[in-house]
Copies of this chain bind each other. A is one copy, B any other.
């Protein structure tokens, strides 16, 4: 069994991804982002995206009540159901879920976060970010055992029953542990972790799992969280992680053949 996680970039090719999924014999859980559609809808609604950087250097989307609403619409509504329909068209019996449904993704609501802005650190209070710390695997197992493919996305639910924005990559680590999953495929808009971000051929082919943090120097922006997620996944018992290109034909087959970056 594996988890396939697909980023929310505009160039991600969902037709190719769904084609590959329809051909897989292995059981899997699909996790997806929806960042570019979120940007589009936010723009139309006249809402500005603001990123915040934690004191330790990780960026995330500033999530106030309004952002949370748009995020819930776009991720668990618009994009989730489009992906489910695409899979259904290929004969895959997909079921879309957010982390709220059956409390699948449960965690802490960080009501206050710190944001580094230049040399200052600011306190942000109207915050609906959080972190998944508990995966209620019962519903996922029930669906998988009955040959449904769970298609999962944010929001998650906090212990106080608040919808929260969480990081998909880090949620996956907790989910892998809960379900004993050893293999992750992470697709994004690059051919792998690159030595030189300007050169798609400068793929770092292999990373030793226990040395993953050494590669933080090659990671920019969102990629830093993927490294953190990978580190947490390895600690959670994951044996192999494939980072690969979500824009190409047969993206999953290629990932599994080691065309991107392999962490083990």
**Number of contacting residues on A, CB 8 A?**
40
| A145: nearest chain-B partner, CB-CB | B142
| A161: nearest chain-B partner, CB-CB | B89
**Choice from B45, B75, B148, B163 contacting A85 with Cβ under 8 Å:** B163
What is the bound-complex CA distance between A157 and B95, given in angstroms? 12
CB within 8 Å of B: which of A217-251? none
Residues of B near A148 (CB, < 8 A) are 102, 139
Residues of B near A88 (CB, < 8 A) are 100, 103, 157, 161
Most buried by B among A69, A72, A100, A101: A101
CB within 8 Å of B: which of A45-103? 45-46, 69, 72-78, 80-82, 84-86, 88-89, 93-98, 100-103
A162 within 8 A of B: yes
CB distance from A22 to the nearest CB of B (A): 13
**Choice from B73, B84, B139 contacting A100 with Cβ under 8 Å:** B84
Residues of B near A72 (CB, < 8 A) are 77-78, 81-82
A211 within 8 A of B: no
**Choice from B75, B86, B139, B161 contacting A95 with Cβ under 8 Å:** B139
Interface of A is mostly: helix
A33 within 8 A of B: no
B76 touches A69 (CB 8 A): no
How many identical chains are in the complex?
2
What is the bound-complex CA distance between A155 and B82, given in angstroms? 11
CB distance from A156 to the nearest CB of B (A): 10
A120 within 8 A of B: no
Residues of B near A138 (CB, < 8 A) are 146
CB distance from A183 to the nearest CB of B (A): 25
A44 within 8 A of B: yes
A114 within 8 A of B: no
| 30 A-B pairs whose Cβ atoms sit less than 8 Å apart in the complex | A41-B73, A72-B78, A73-B73, A73-B74, A73-B78, A74-B77, A76-B80, A76-B96, A77-B80, A81-B98, A81-B101, A81-B155, A84-B100, A84-B101, A85-B157, A85-B162, A85-B163, A86-B161, A88-B103, A88-B161, A89-B161, A93-B102, A93-B103, A95-B97, A96-B98, A96-B100, A96-B101, A138-B146, A142-B142, A142-B146
